[in-house]
Amino acid sequence: MRARLTSAVVLSAVLAAVPVILGAHPSTDARDALSEAEGQAAAPPVPPMDVHTLKNFLPIGPPDPLPKSAVPDLSGDWALDNRPGRGGIGQSMSAADPGGRLRGKEPDIPYQPWALEYTMRQTPPTGPDAGFERTTDPHIHTCEPLGLGRIYMYPAKTKFVQTPEAVYILHELGPAFRIVWLNAKHPADPDPNYWGHSVGWYENGDTLVVDTIGANDRSWLDQLGHPRTEKFHFVERYKRVDKETLELEMTIDDPGAYTKPWPGRRNFRISDTGFMRFAWVCSVRDNYEHYEKVGAKGNSGTTTFK
Amino acid sequence: MRTRLLLVAALAVAVASAGVLAHHGGNLYDTTKPVMLKGTITKFEWGTPHNQIFFDATSDKGEKQSWVGSTEPAPVMLERGWTRRSLGPGDAVTVYIFAAKNGATVGNIQRIVKADGTELTASGGGARAGGEGAAAPARP
């Protein structure tokens, strides 16, 4: 609002100054033009976002000064750890309810009322409340990119390529990649997109911290319909626990949808079966055909999507 | 003691499988007990979002039935030691499957044993995927 007022004042001043500079009183035409310009200036179509003024629950961006840390070795092909108790495969971002059995009643998701209502209005494609043939999931119907967080709700592998300037996170699901810029700051006005803008740094010699803003609101956070907004601030902490184990702690900091930050977790184990041996590409045709071949018959003959 | 261990193991399998089975309509299938079917593979579709395995089997009443079972997608089954050549038309198999509750001949594949004794595990962690502490394959 303040930015809008400032823009209006500046533009008005510039336009008002024109006739003064030219040594003449403003004509009727000029006054009309001024009024019109004032009207337009009062409502710029998209006020610029300044990340430094975002009121999130958690600080955004790297700490200043950056902590000194050795660079942990994140090399390897990382698969979600599906051993019992490791929380590897789950449909929900909720750390307390990765299987989605408590959808809408998770003890660790501090919904704003609209976010709860939105979540419960969705029909997930999977999980205990699944309704594949009538799902509202844009990923199933249009292969909308999975985006931040949700990429880890599927049992596909991830790889990290570490360079001095950036860490490249490669996902064989998609396939998709992200760039985590090291020793960098977020731009003041990032263009919202599925993967946002990420900066990162190392801590304690064993952890990569990734700080992301600039997400759009077009992807769910997980497979169960939990929303995110353009205020979404996502913090990921990848900790190399030992040669075969990588732990990921996620923090969802989105004052547009939730009343405080909340956690998500996934664990990875090293894999020796080869990265990208089978790229997991989303295909609408494959999604629909799978349902018609298998799910529809078990669903008493529903053979078409609604 | 042995019974208790078996119960615990069965529960672990159920819990470990829940996330997998929930995929795309796990509530449609009877996940309390796999059905055992002896039959012949007619088609093996290797891909995403799931593999589809088509096979013919004979019912208890002697009727020929055409079944379709699904597993997790190909990249996950690679982790469990499967390949796109693991099954092919004409293979004689014993299939353990969580079948549809409504009686349709579809379901979620749990395990397949080929005529030469080769076991293909589809549920839980599997040997390669799970390593130490992995859930044992579901057994009828």
Q: Report the pLDDT value the prediction gives residue A59, as an integer from 0 to 100.
A: 93
- The CA distance from B8 to the nearest CA of chain A, in Å, is 12
ipTM, 2 dp? 0.70
Across B4-26, average pLDDT: 41
Total domains in the fold of chain B = 1
Q: Judge whether residue B64 has pLDDT over 50.
A: yes
3-state secondary structure chain B: CHHHHHHHHHHHHHHHHHHHHCCCCHHHECCCCCEEEEEEEEEEECCCCCEEEEEEEECCCCCEEEEEEEECCHHHHHHCCCCCCCCCCCCEEEEEEEEECCCCCEEEEEEEEECCCCEEECCCCCHHHHCCCCCCCCCC
Contacts of B69 in chain A (CB under 8 A): 294
A142-161 residues touching B, CB cutoff 8 A:
155-157
Range of the domain at B102: 2-123
- The CA distance from B71 to the nearest CA of chain A, in Å, is 11
Q: Judge whether residue B135 has pLDDT over 60.
A: no
Contacts of A298 in chain B (CB under 8 A): 25, 28-29, 100-102, 104, 106-107
Mean pLDDT by 10 residues, chain A (306 residues): 43 39 39 47 56 83 92 96 72 92 96 97 87 84 92 93 98 95 92 95 97 94 94 97 95 96 94 91 86 75 53
Residues in contact with A234: Cβ distance below 8 Å, sequence separation at least 6, in sequence order: A148, A149, A196, A210, A211, A212, A213, A215, A250, A251, A252, A253
Q: Report the pLDDT value the prediction gives residue A285, as an integer from 0 to 100.
A: 87
Establish if B31 belongs to a structural domain.
yes
**B53 versus A23: which is more confidently predicted?**
B53
Establish if B135 belongs to a structural domain.
no
Yes or no: say if A142 and A157 are a contact pair by the CB < 8 Å rule: no
Considering only CB atoms, B100 lies closest to which of A83, A84, A298, namely A298
Contacts of B49 in chain A (CB under 8 A): 286-287, 290
Residues in contact with A298: Cβ distance below 8 Å, sequence separation at least 6, in sequence order: B25, B28, B29, B100, B101, B102, B104, B106, B107
Establish if B139 belongs to a structural domain.
no
Compare all CA atoms of chain A with the CA of B45 and give the residue at the minimum distance: A290
Considering only CB atoms, A82 lies closest to which of B12, B101, B125, namely B125
Domains and CATH numbers, chain A: 2-47 (no CATH), 54-296 (2.40.128.20)
Task: Flag if A273 and B128 touch (Cβ within 8 Å).
Answer: yes
Establish if B129 belongs to a structural domain.
no
Q: Report the pLDDT value the prediction gives residue B124, as an integer from 0 to 100.
A: 60
Q: Report the pLDDT value the prediction gives residue B26, as an integer from 0 to 100.
A: 55
Q: What percent of chain B lies above the pLDDT cut of 70?
A: 69
Q: Report the pLDDT value the prediction gives residue A6, as an integer from 0 to 100.
A: 44
Identify the band that residue B51 occupies on the pLDDT scale cut at 50, 70 and 90.
very high
A285 Cβ under 8 Å from any chain B Cβ? no
